[in-house]
Amino acid sequence: MLYHFSEDPSIERFVPHVPKTNPAHRAAVWAIDQERAPLYWFPRECPRVTIWPFNDGGLAAFRSRFTTAARRLHAIEFEWLKRMRNAKVYRYEFDADGFEPWEQANGQWITDREVVPSAVEPVGDLLDAHHRAGIELRLAPSLWPLRDAAVEGEFDFSLVRMHNARPRLDS
């Protein structure tokens, strides 16, 4: 199964489109695999940094580097906490047939055909979803230090909506 997350609970079909953030990309419908689904347990426009080890062998280094007991770390800015508490996000379920891996991001899949979801259900309380999954959700005054640590290459990561993050402060 593959998933799509939205704050709109009434989407009956997903139509391929060219994303505003990537106008050179062909029209497609995007989906995410189960392992990476928690990357979308956020309000759509919420900037976030998510980091996790590539495999169990990197878990100790990950926990030491980010001072956490969790297997994954997700971070948002303080300003987004109220929206996290109040957002209603829905998980759409797709059959994986007809999708192909999107080469630009692990765990993301695309198709050039219309897709009718097989199910839609509310994610529920987004903070509780993180808790139940054992993911540390960190509040930060700025995402940029974690972003910089994430891109160093030692761990897997995802950066979403960073254009909505607070500006980087000069040192």
Could you give the C-alpha distances from 85 to 34, 37, 60, 78, 127, in angstroms and in order?
23, 18, 31, 12, 7
Domains contained in the chain, number: 1
Q: Does residue 169 form part of some domain?
A: no
Q: Does residue 32 form part of some domain?
A: yes
From the DSSP assignment, how many helices (H) and strands (E) are in the chain?
4, 10
- The whole model's pTM is what? 0.92
pLDDT higher than 90, residue 170 = no
Angle formed at CA 41 by CA 126 and CA 17, multiple of 5 degrees: 145
Q: Does residue 8 form part of some domain?
A: yes
How many C-beta atoms surround the C-beta of residue 49 within 10 A?
26
Condensed to tens digits (0 to 9), the pLDDT of residues 47-97 reads: 999 999 999 999 999 999 999 999 999 999 999 999 999 999 999 999 999
> Could you list the residue range(s) of the whole structural domain that residue 79 is in?
2-164
Please give the mean pLDDT across all residues of the chain. Answer: 95
Q: Does residue 104 form part of some domain?
A: yes
Q: Locate tokens 């956020």: which residue?
A: 42
The whole-angstrom separation of Cα 170 and Cα 111 is: 41
Rounded mean pLDDT of 158-169?
Answer: 94
pLDDT higher than 70, residue 171 = no
The whole-angstrom separation of Cα 82 and Cα 74 is: 16
Q: Does residue 151 form part of some domain?
A: yes
pLDDT higher than 90, residue 22 = no
Strand partners, 75: 49, 138
Q: Does residue 171 form part of some domain?
A: no
The whole-angstrom separation of Cα 155 and Cα 79 is: 26
